[in-house]
Amino acid sequence: IAGITQAPTSQILAAGRRMTLRCTQDMRHNAMYWYRQDLGLGLRLIHYSNTAGTTGKGEVPDGYSVSRANTDDFPLTLASAVPSQTSVYFCASSDRDGYGYTFGSGTRLTVV
């Protein structure tokens, strides 16, 4: 089934630990995105990548890093997790012009 796969689906993480959220798409979309969703704040863009090999910062990039080594994968890394990074993280992809926006099912991360 075409779409986006995110892993893990949920995670409890100790503060200070390093964590990588995985995202894979099989639609050959050029662009990929990471958003976080928090109650009362909505969806906020963390990082994006318009094509393999390039990445850019979104609204809330601090404490997160991404890489785009190939078209299909776009991992999000928390170098040293803090409680304020407790959130639901969504990966998305689209074609070059922003059409066909498709979301994964999300990763629920709790930092304690």
Partner 1 sequence: KQEVTQIPAALSVPEGENLVLNCSFTDSAIYNLQWFRQDPGKGLTSLLLIQSSQREQTSGRLNASLDKSSGRSTLYIAASQPGDSATYLCAAPNQAGTALIFGKGTTLSVSS
By CB under 8 A, name the binding residues for partner 1. Answer: 4, 31, 33, 35, 40-43, 45, 48, 50, 56, 58-59, 90, 92, 97-106
Alpha helices in the chain (DSSP H): none
Q: Which is nearer to partner 1, 80 or 101 (CB)?
A: 101
Q: Which is nearer to partner 1, 17 or 90 (CB)?
A: 90
* Least Cβ distance, residue 88 to partner 1 (angstroms): 9
* Least Cβ distance, residue 86 to partner 1 (angstroms): 16
* Least Cβ distance, residue 59 to partner 1 (angstroms): 8
| Whether 60 contacts 42, CB under 8 Å | no
| Whether 58 contacts 75, CB under 8 Å | no
Q: How far is CA 17 from the centre of its chain?
A: 18
Q: Which is nearer to partner 1, 39 or 112 (CB)?
A: 39
Question: Can you read off the two tokens belonging to residue 73?
Answer: 């994968």
Partners of residue 35 on adjacent β-strands:
45, 90
